[in-house]
Structure 1
């Protein structure tokens, strides 16, 4: 049974079969084994001859030397390490199953991602008609920017102008010529101002629109961006009370943002936020690295498959939570901040590089490693910075900035 089970797990690990197929095979194998056991009942015991000594049920005269030694260990209640004879094998199977599940899940994720990446998004319907188009709107009274693109990227640049200008690079597919492509694009592309909002929208999935949006320097109330397939980029100290960027397939890269609340989410792509100033930021990706750095008071960053690095330079920060299923987690905090934190990992290491903290608890067990720590300091009128770093298969590091 063990050999058959190992063979199925090897096939799963090598990618020969899927996780569902492996589960079905294991279930079928177990059912067949039980059915075979039921159909072959044990032979009835022979009655001992008169005057002979009955043989114990679990001892037979045809034991070889190795079986006898194993029997003696079982009779003593365990092996030389004090565990039941099968405990080492059981733990090894659990460890292997956990590792295989994690690796196969990540391979499944990567396969799905690779299919998206290798899909000929540039030429799905043949050669495109390529042209440029510019749109301009007055910025007077505009407090919100809302963009929704089915295919294409968005880059925002802050300018000294008093108007919004969208420079569009367009690739139109299934168009007869450039004149027809331009006419259809202008009819379907939305670039309007209404009720204090600038709205940008392109819902045609066979027209790729890469936009460089120049915006006046101002304090905006809200920036909302939704991209189906394309990247987002912003620099030049864009300021908005609320920022929300969601991309299904594309990276997010921003620098110098000022906000009260920000939320970044992508299914496939990296999230990089540098030199940010804000109260609260949330970042989440299914596949990709997360890198957040700035004067931030509340950070929540999570990746299923990717490295997570978060840094706050604000001595008055009050919460950091970072997690990864497959990947390492790194958290960096100011040295003079008061701390109350924990670092946890299932299969990786826990490395708390804080030399002046009190370690209230350290745990080193199978599938669970944890360090809990505290430190007085910072502003006595504020609560200590709450820190939590958690990884399933990777290392968790907590350290001071620059160390």
Structure 2
């Protein structure tokens, strides 16, 4: 049976059959698995996922360094690593016996947190402002293997933490075999620190004022819109990162497999994607530094037309594009393995942006845009070239 499973996985890897077809074949082989084997599979899944999350922040630099010398082998290994992790996440969604669904609300009245820390294994996490005087977490739970709703709810409450003390709110779900989609309502007053760690789920936040925001997920999209964020750090293994119509001093965002978009008034921007396009659209003269890096994707940087800029663009296989006019100094260098452009604009202005952008197989373009002071009057969307990523 092991040889048959190996053959099915090789067919999926080679693209001969889809992942869903492979799951169907594997299910047929394991139609009557032993109870102990199923238990081991459940236990090992979470441990492997934790390991993946721990590798998330340390793997990027190592892969980037290796790709300079021999890009194909590290890239293939990374794609296999991400694909394997995502496949495990999909397996986790596969029905494991009886499923019970219910909702539960945690609430703490007359409490305004300055620090929020949240951790969940599976499920989305959303933060919204509200007019209430306290905090409230609405949880939509799907639990596997429970006999009835009362038993499932009791187990969920017993293994969850919703703890408010002094100025800190802690929220976590300790059970492995459940999916919990959470909507956290907090007062509109500014929050000092928010830290969210997810393994299989997306993060969403709108219209909040936060000094420091850290979000990490192994599989899921990260989206922040219409907010003021002093410093933002976001990482995802498989998913997009959107930082749209926001203000911030510093933004650092990286995705292994997904697009990364930063649109707004940001001072320092550092964005990376291994397999995905990168976009930085500066909306004010507060910007001073942009560092963008990709391996297989394109990079686009938009700068207000009244600002001065200088920098360096690199690519191995793609093209490099600058504004047609307004550049007083352009040095082009094309070697066998890399194209390079150093540039500086003609105009002298109080605001200047330093741009460093590099991609291996994609293209890099820098463009100027008309500056509008009231750019937040309506929600801006990424250019159509990035739609669907």
- C-alpha distance in 2 between matches for 1:99 and 1:269: 22
- C-alpha distance in 2, partners of 1:378/1:126? 68
- Residues 21-45 of structure 1 show CA distances to partners (whole Å, capped at 9, x for unaligned) of xxxxxxxxxxxxxxxxxxxxxxxxx
Question: Aligned ranges for residues 373-392 of structure 1 at < 5 Å?
Answer: 373-377=343-347, 379-380=349-350, 384-392=352-360
Q: Does 2:151 match 1:183? A: no
After superposition, where does 1:13-28 map in structure 2 within 5 Å? none
CA offsets per residue over residues 108-164 of structure 1, 9 Å max, x none?
3563355245x2333342231100101111253521111111111101111111111
Any residues of structure 2 matched to 1:297-312 within 5 Å, and which?
297-312=267-282
2:232 equivalent in structure 1: 262
Match of 1:326, SS? Answer: coil
Larger Rg: 1
Q: Bigger CA drift: 266-275 or 355-364?
A: 355-364
| Alpha-carbon separation, structure 1, partners of 2:72 and 2:231 | 39
**What are the superposed Cα offsets for residues 337-390 of structure 1, whole Å, 9 maximum, x if unpaired?**
11111111011111123520123310122111011111254643x5x2110110
Q: Distance in 2 between matches of 1:215 and 1:184?
A: 26
Rate the CA distance shift 1:312–1:139 in 2: closer, same or farther, 3 A.
farther
- SS of equivalent residue, structure 2 residue 250: strand
Give the 3 Å change call, closer, same or farther, for CA 141–251 of structure 1 in structure 2: closer
Contact 2:326 2:346 in 1 (8 A): no
Supply the distance in 1 between the matched residues of 2:310 and 2:330 (Cα, whole angstroms).
10
Query: Which deviations, in whole Å up to 9, do the C-alpha atoms of 1:223-266 show, x marking residues without a partner?
Result: 1111011110111x111110111101111111012021111111
Change (3 A) 1:341 1:316: same
* Residue segments in structure 2 that go unaligned for 5+ positions in a row: 1-12, 16-68, 371-382, 384-389
Change beyond 3 A, Cα 1:262–1:206: same
Cα distance, 1:139–1:360 mapped onto 2, change above 3 Å: farther
Contact 1:139 1:216 in 2 (8 A): no
Q: Secondary structure of the equivalent of 1:281?
A: strand
Instruction: Tell me the equivalent position of 1:239.
Output: 209
Task: Give the corresponding residue for 1:55.
Answer: none
Q: 1:352 to 1:102 in 2, by over 3 A?
A: farther
- Give CA-to-partner distance per residue, 1:157-201, whole Å, 9 cap, x none: 111111111111001112121111111111111111013101110
Structure 1 contact 313–333 (Cα < 8 Å) conserved: yes
Q: What pairs up with 1:268-307 in 2 under 5 angstroms?
A: 268-307=238-277
Which of 74, 77, 80 aligns to 1:108? It is 80
The alignment's C-alpha RMSD in Å is 2.3
Q: Distance in 1 between matches of 2:322 and 2:349?
A: 23
2-structure distance, mates of 1:201, 1:264: 19
Q: What SS does structure 1 have at the residue aligned with 2:185?
A: strand
Match of 2:342 among 364, 367, 372: 372
1:132 corresponds to 2:103? yes
SS at match of 2:306: coil
Rounded to whole Å, the distance in 1 between the matches of 2:348 and 2:108 is 48
Q: Does residue 1:121 correspond to 2:92, yes or no?
A: yes
Q: Is the 8 A contact 2:308 2:346 kept in 1?
A: yes
Q: Secondary structure at the match of 2:93?
A: coil
Q: CA, structure 1 residues 111+246, in 2 after alignment: closer, same or farther (shift >3 Å)? A: closer
Q: Is the 8 A contact 1:242 1:261 kept in 2?
A: yes
Match of 1:47 in 2: none
- Count of residues in correspondence between the two structures: 306
